[in-house]
Amino acid sequence: MNIFITGGAGYIGSHTCVELLNEGFDIVVADNLSNSSQVSLDRVRRITGRDFPFYEIDICDEDALSRVFEEHSFDGVIHFAGLKAVGESVSRPVTYYSNNLISTLTLCRVMQRYLVHKIVYSSSATVYSPDNPLPLREESKLGCTNPYGWSKYMCEQILRDVAAADRRWSALLLRYFNPVGVHPSGLIGEDPRDIPNNLMPFITQVAVGRREKLHIFGGDYDTPDGTGIRDYIHVVDLAKGHVAAIKYLQGFTGVDAINLGTGRGFSVLEMVRTFEKTNGVNIPYEIVGRRAGDVACCYADPQKANRLLHWRAEKTLEDMCRDSWRWQYNNPHGYGRDDGGNVTLH
């Protein structure tokens, strides 16, 4: 089977490329490299020993996208391409809505024209309203707090409407919880362009000496140690969830939303302690005020994914911490300077 991957040079996309290639799928990748580097795809080739075509195009560019569909025939699409920084989406809403919505609409139009009707969409736990009881189930109330979240919500709705209008379509809306960790080779990983917003990349940058200390946002939440709790999921487990989703789509028509999480929450302090213990490093930190928009606690009910996709997350918090550190240690400057990814951890 040949799968078209948009945003495949990015963090989750590159990991999914590895898992698909390892499972024998053929892939074609498109990415405009606005938040990634082509080095990630060279590393995917190195890990898997397999080659695949790459197109440096914008998914909003209908002519360029049509040329890819003209040159290949696809059995399905995984749509990762999108902008994802919550804070930036608040200050640049038009950019976020344009990129995330127009790329999805253009993709739908081109897929329709070339009779490709199966799509896996990268959605997010951020589409759930913050006032739901936990764990979050697919039927939980939806509602967002920022333009990034709304763009995910709107793309979900677009795909629901497209599939309702034409019964040949099938779409899985995968709602990721908190992806962390990297491939155990340490060759591909998460490479934030600016100061990281998310917890794990900030911790690894403190560990490698690029930042002085971690600011823990809030120590007075109603949680056992006062810090926020999240459902961290290893990106390799997440990538395998996409392989399961693509397989499931072959016998499915319609639309369904599915949580990809572990079902277990860990606090910021548990994450810091586990990172220190697993890797034998010290993470200086300071507890500061809460970050606007954060909730105390968020975790998934992953039973629907277990049941329908025959998938469950297997990796531990220790695996997430060990693998993230291996990546950062081997690639202290991310893909920015190709350090070769050859250093061995002792």
For the bound state, the minimum distance from the C-beta of residue 34 to ligand NAD, rounded and expressed in Å, comes to: 4
80 is in the binding site of which of ligand UD1, ligand NAD, none (Cβ under 5 to 8 A by kind)? ligand NAD
The set of residues, in sequence order, having a beta carbon less than 8 Å from that of 71 and lying 6+ positions away, is none
Nearer CB in complex with ligand NAD: 68/81: 81
The set of residues, in sequence order, having a beta carbon less than 8 Å from that of 308 and lying 6+ positions away, is 248, 256, 258
Size of the site for ligand NAD (CB under 6 A): 26
**148 noted as active-site residue:** yes
Cβ-closest position to ligand NAD: 10
Binding to ligand UD1 (CB under 6 A) within 260-289 occurs at 268
Q: Does 179 bind ligand NAD (CB under 6 A)?
A: yes
Sign, CA dihedral 297-263-14-79, equals negative
Nearer CB in complex with ligand UD1: 293/336: 293
Binding to ligand NAD (CB under 6 A) within 57-76 occurs at 58-60
For the bound state, the minimum distance from the C-beta of residue 124 to ligand NAD, rounded and expressed in Å, comes to: 3
Closest among 157, 160, 139 to 149, alpha carbons compared = 157
- In the three-class reduction of DSSP (H, G, I as helix; E, B as strand; rest coil), residue 116 is classed as coil
CA separation for the pair 153, 142 (Å, rounded): 8
Residue the block writes with tokens 């056992």: 224
* Binding flags for ligand UD1, 11-50, as an x/- string (CB under 6 A): ----------------------------------------
The set of residues, in sequence order, having a beta carbon less than 8 Å from that of 2 and lying 6+ positions away, is 25, 26, 27, 28, 72, 73, 74, 75
Strands of the 26-30 sheet, one edge to the other: 54-55, 26-30, 2-6, 76-79, 118-124, 170-176, 254-260
Q: Say which of 55, 121, 128, 148 is annotated catalytic.
A: 148
| Count of beta carbons in the 10 Å neighbourhood of residue 220 | 11
Contact, 145 vs 133, CB < 8 A? no
For the bound state, the minimum distance from the C-beta of residue 310 to ligand NAD, rounded and expressed in Å, comes to: 22
Sole binder of ligand UD1 in the list 38, 197, 306, 316 (CB under 6 A)? 197
Q: Under the rule (CB under 6 A), what is the footprint of ligand NAD?
A: 7, 9-13, 31-36, 58-60, 80-84, 99, 103, 122, 124, 176, 179
Q: Under the rule (CB under 6 A), what is the footprint of ligand UD1?
A: 84, 86, 124, 126, 149, 178, 197-199, 202, 214-217, 228, 230, 268, 291, 293-294
